[in-house]
Structure 1
Amino acid sequence: MLKFLCGALLALGTVVGPSAQAESVLFLNPGTPREVFWTSYSQFMQAAADDLRIDLRIVYSDRTSEITIGQAREALLGPSRPDYLVFVNEESVAPEILRLAKGSGVKLFMVNNALSPDQMRLLGARPDKYPDWVGSLVPNDEEGGYLMLKELIRLHPPAAPGQAIDLLAFSGLKITPSAQLREKGMRRALAEHPEVRLRQLVYGGWTRERAYEQAKLLFKRYPQTSLVWTANDEMGFGAMQAFEEAGGKPGKDALFGTINNSPAALRALLDKRLSVLLGGHFSLGGWALVQLHDYDQGVDVSQYGGRDRQIPLLQVIDRAQARRLLAMGSAQNFGVDFHKLSARGRPISYRYPFSLQTLMH
């Protein structure tokens, strides 16, 4: 705990959050304030911070890695350093942030994308080498990509003898671990279904506009496409728009699957335009704050499931769950008592119940 920092800042006449005792956390949000996923992510994180009395500040980098690095540099080397810096290894920014953090006294925590295996090898990322890196929390991205395609194939009518089912896939950014893992999961499902033919995989950069432009060309090139796998909802909606403009009906002429439980995606599932939806990982930042709050209170969180953890947040959302999630979106603090999730005073067998079920109790 860097309480001495709070004291130093107060001595300079700088106010640190609502209370001098509250730990301060800066979250480098890699998205934009216009993206529903990243704004709902921030809202859930803020609900956790309010409940746990954490002094949370969130800045967006508009999907620009240079901005993220600049924000990290200011936080780690500037005069007003937070106690904790929470960030996403989007576009492989983690090695540079780890380098900048050395000697800063700021504790680091990664969410959504942790270090890739290649980065681990290059950095020799051992806990003793980076003592201020306190952990990471990531979702089951590989399984998410796998489950999406398996469910799409299950819902699709069987292929006629000698015929193939044509699939198009839209991944995110080639250098982002979550995109790589979701794609890997999709390919694992594909290997189990030789009747499905992947016509093309493109990188839509997580954006609706880019996926829309790509899809316009791809649906002309592969008019028999009847399965569309997309790594997030923005790209899913871009691909759907192109399909509709080409005269197709999503959910009828082709089955679309995607990830993110945004209100628009939940409604598309209820309208049956979207056939498969996975979600739940927008809650990662809030869960990370529960863990960091425990750490700040002296809890050895590594005893409760490990320092770096993957949690099975991504799961197939059915229509009943979609209705509940839509209703929950308007509930204050998402209806979660974050204090109750703490590991303080719990037996070593306790595991943080971070899941979609905890949200929908």
Structure 2
Amino acid sequence: MLKVLIACVWLVGSAYGAMAHATSVVFLNPGTSTETFWVSYAQFTQAAAKDLGLSLRVRYSERSAENTLAQAREALQGAQRPDYLVLVNEQYVAPQILRLAQGSGVKLLIVNNALTADQVQLLDARNDAGWIGSLVADDERAGYLMFTDLLRQHGPVATGQTLDLLAFSGAKHTPAAQRREQGLRRALAEHPDVRLRQLVYGEWSRQRAFEQATQLFKRYPQTALVWSANDEMALGAMQALQGSGRVPGKDVLFSAVNSSPDILKARLDGRLTTLVAGHFTLGGWAMVLVNDDAKGVDISAYGGRDRQAALFQLIDGDQAQRLLGPTPPVDFRALSAVGKPTSYRYPFSLHLLLR
């Protein structure tokens, strides 16, 4: 009986020890706790962490850089420091967080918005042993893809004619927004028959884009195409067009990024002509990298320290319908580089959810 009791105590202790030593991660989420994109992003990240046995805590900044820095300071200088801190260089906060991390013993992974070239030079951040790398999506391609598909669906422009385009970019000091805008401008350079009448910064907000679009549609009544760097701004601009008595998807063609239920429904009912999505998965893939680093894998040997994943793709009606349903389970552990040759590359892709 005593042996059985000792064995039980040993098993319980072992289980407790395993839980107590689970790799701990804090994710500094730059969005709001009610923002569809960032909530779905966090949910996919949490699903990955659970599958990989990581202990994850998500902190929302509520779109405040000051909150992000306060949360970073707590994580990096507080009594209970995580093993890893995952952050987004939204509003260029990463350099300050990297400075706070010096000597903390916490490893950092940057997602979505990596350090800019100027920031890297100023910080010499690559020599910081605590920074294990960055993982971003192909935002420039997303901006290019949106425009070219929007124009394809519109059809050829008659010789000597032009089309008027309005563009809604995100936050001006956000690398992802800048790269999507670069993609748009690359596409425009290839299509001189499309005139960009005005590009405005909608700050990712439906209400702000609605207010801006209400004025812009009056200023440019011949607008035929609307390019939008996210779903919320596209929905706000659609609402403004409807307020003027016109029909989105018929009188004006719209494009957007993201996969919120509202924008997927707009894609299905024809109000939205072009949809690009996939980067809500970045947090989940980041957990795979964290898990591998914690297990002693040199993740830089499997694709470099700064990696850009080809996540964005055009979403057709069937795919929109599937994304509206429950997210299918992903075997995150199977994506690990543990025990694999250095020729292995992480197969991060939206296709893992659309099979």
| Band the TM-score falls in, shorter-chain normalisation | over 0.9
1:198 aligns with 2:177: no
Counterparts of 1:50 and 1:187, CA distance in 2: 40
CA contact (8 A) 1:26 1:86 kept: yes
Structure 2 equivalent of residue 223 of structure 1: 221
Structure 2 SS opposite 1:167? strand
Matches within 5 A, 1:111-260: 111-126=111-126, 129-260=127-258
CA positional deviation for 1:344: 0.8
Are the equivalent residues in 2 in contact too, given 1:236–1:258 (CA < 8 A)? Answer: yes
Q: What residue in structure 1 maps to residue 345 of structure 2?
A: 351
Secondary structure in 2 matching 1:335: coil
For residue 292 of structure 2, what is the aligned residue in structure 1? Answer: 294
Give the deviation of 1:248 after TM superposition.
1.3
1:74 and 2:74 correspond? yes
Equivalent in the alignment of 2:9: none
Query: What amino acid is the match of 2:49?
Result: A
Please give the secondary structure, in 1, of the residue aligned with 2:129.
coil
- In structure 1, what is the Cα distance between the partners aligned to 2:17 and 2:63? 27
1:49 match = 49
Amino acid across the alignment from 1:115: L
Taking the aligned partners of 2:18 and 2:271, their CA distance within structure 1 comes to 45
The whole-number CA distance in structure 1 between the counterparts of 2:110 and 2:321 is: 31
Structure 1 residue aligned with 2:261: 263
35-44 or 18-27: bigger deviation: 18-27
Instruction: For residue 40 of structure 1, report the CA deviation from its aligned partner.
Output: 0.3
1:124 deviation in Å? Answer: 2.5
Q: Which has the larger radius of gyration?
A: 2
Aligned partners of 1:85 and 1:107 also within 8 Å: yes
CA distance in 2, matches of 1:348, 1:341: 14
> How far 1:161 sits from its partner (Å)?
2.7
Aligned residues: 340
Q: Distance in 1 between matches of 2:17 and 2:266?
A: 40
Contact 1:257 1:274 (8 Å CA) reproduced: yes
Number of the residue aligned with 2:329: 335
**What 5-or-longer segments of structure 1 have no aligned partner?**
1-15
Give the match for residue 102 of structure 1.
102
User: 1:294 touches 1:301 (CA, 8 Å); kept in 2?
Assistant: yes
TM-score (norm 1): 0.92
Judge conservation of contact 2:276–2:312 (CA < 8 Å) in 1.
Answer: yes
The amino acid of 1:34's aligned partner reads: T
Alpha-carbon distance in structure 2 between the residues aligned to 1:89 and 1:67: 13
Task: Tell me how far apart the structure 2 counterparts of residues 24 and 125 of structure 1 sit (CA, whole Å).
Answer: 23
TM-score, normalising length: structure 2: 0.94
Q: How far 1:159 moved relative to its partner? A: 2.2
Gaps in structure 2 of 5+ consecutive residues = 1-15
Q: Write out per-residue CA displacement over residues 160-207 of structure 1, whole angstroms, 9 at most, x where no aligned residue.
A: 332210000000011100000000000000000000000000000011
- Residues 17 and 55 of structure 1 are in contact (CA less than 8 Å); yes or no, is this contact kept in structure 2? no
C-alpha distance in 2 between matches for 1:105 and 1:66: 23
Contact 1:295 1:301 in 2 (8 A): yes
What is the deviation of 1:266? 1.1
Give per-residue Cα distances to partners, 1:117-173, cap 9 Å, x unaligned: 2212222232xx211001110000001000000101111132233221000000001
Distance across 2 between alignment mates of 1:346 and 1:360 = 25
> Residue 19 of structure 1: SS of its match in structure 2?
helix
CA contact 1:22–1:54 (8 Å) conserved in 2: yes
SS at match of 1:150: helix
1:23 corresponds to = 23
Structure 1 residue 36 corresponds to structure 2 residue 36: yes
Secondary structure at the counterpart of residue 74 of structure 1: helix
Tell me how far apart the structure 1 counterparts of residues 168 and 102 of structure 2 sit (CA, whole Å): 37
CA distance 1:173–1:351, shift in 2 (3 Å) = same
Deviation sequence 1:243-262 (CA, Å, 0-9, x none) = 11011111100110010011
- Superposed CA deviations along residues 71-119 of structure 1, whole A, max 9, x for unmatched, are 0011111111110000100000000000000001110000000001221
Instruction: Calculate the aligned-residue CA RMSD, in Å.
Output: 1.3
How far residue 347 of structure 1 moved from its aligned partner, in angstroms, is: 1.5
The residue number in structure 2 matching 1:5 is none
